[in-house]
Amino acid sequence: MLVGAGGTALASETRGPDGPTGHPVVATTGWANDRRVWSPMVDDLAATHSVTTWDLRGHGDSEAPAPGEYTRAHALGDLTAVLDHAGRPAVLMGHSLGGYLSLAHAVDHPDDVAGLVLVATGPGFRKAEARDQWNASVRASMEKLDLPVGTDELSMHTDAHVIDHLADIEVPVLVLLGEHDVRFAASASLFERDLNVRETVVVPDMGHMVHVKAPTECAAAVCRFLAGL
């Protein structure tokens, strides 16, 4: 177990080849997922790179702290703890919320990041009304899920910090998206405009869980990206 923000215990797993590798990869899940969703991709990536997967607080095998300890600051503090373990600079790979956290870390700590892999990810919202609509949808989803009380706060948006500072991120970026993930298609276009996107891969016939449903295609794209860093 790693020790995250406020002393919360975080479950993680690191796989990779013996001997020197390229930049370490830190894979962060989306909300309501656990680190096992990365397993099929890691089977391929770990042949050439050290890959660390981890569970968000209140998810998987990580500790579930008290309500009120699931703020964005807590989540980013946890990601920092994972980087302390994995090494810097790292390639941050994230799905959905995990991609947003990766972007936020790249904005605030650019020297920690060698590259970004954004899987079905958005940068947040500039308008308060859009944030309110997103947060309402998270609360509605929370009612249907068996998650510890308070974990919905991890997925809430409270400001426009990341989207307002996208252009400050200079590292190479890979964007992965399912063809039918309409909700995040606009974000992919925004990334191509504001980020140093090396490649955008749209996987046919896939939705939001593209990395789970098409791990071979996603891993191949990530391996190409890593080879070019």
CATH of the domain at 26: 3.40.50.1820
What pTM was computed for the model?
A: 0.96
| Assigned domain for 121 exists | yes
Least confident among 26-30, 43-47, 90-94? 43-47
CA dihedral 92, 121, 175, 191 (to 10 degrees): -110
Residue type at position 21: T
**Residue range(s) defining the domain that contains residue 211:** 22-54+81-147+156-227
Number of domains in the chain: 1
pLDDT band at 191 (very low <50, low <70, confident <90, very high): very high
Percentage of the chain beyond pLDDT 70 is 100
Query: For residue 112, is it within any domain?
Result: yes
Q: What is the pLDDT at residue 146? A: 87
pLDDT at 187 over 70: yes
Percent of the chain with pLDDT over 90: 95
> For 86-105, what is the mean pLDDT?
98
* Amino acid 18: pLDDT: 79
What pLDDT is attached to residue 125?
96
Token output for 101:
């956290």
Residue 19 has pLDDT above 80, yes or no: no
DSSP letter at 180 equals: T
Residue 204 belongs to a domain: yes
| Predicted pLDDT at 13 | 98
The answer to whether residue 221 is domain-embedded is yes
Residue 41: inside a domain, yes or no?
A: yes
Q: Which residues of 154-193 are buried (b: 16+ CB within 10 A; e: fewer)?
A: bbbbeebebbebbeebebbbbbbbbeebeebeebbeebee
Say if residue 56's pLDDT is above 70.
yes
Quick one: pLDDT band at residue 20, thresholds 50, 70, 90?
A: low
Q: Is 217 among the domain residues?
A: yes
Q: In this structure, is residue 90 part of a structural domain?
A: yes
Closest CA to 183 of 128, 116, 133, 146: 133
Tell me: pLDDT of 101 over 90. yes
Q: Mapped to the 3 state alphabet, what secondary structure does 24-57 carry?
A: CEEEECCCCCCHHHHHHHHHHHCCCCCEEEECCC
Tell me the per-residue pLDDT of 155-180, one tens digit each, with 9 for 90 and over. 999 999 999 999 999 999 999 999 99
The mean pLDDT of 208-224, rounded to a whole number, is: 97
Checking if the pLDDT of 90 tops 80, the result is: yes
Query: Would you place residue 48 in the very low, low, confident or very high pLDDT band (cuts 50, 70, 90)?
Result: very high
Is the residue at 36 inside a domain? Answer: yes
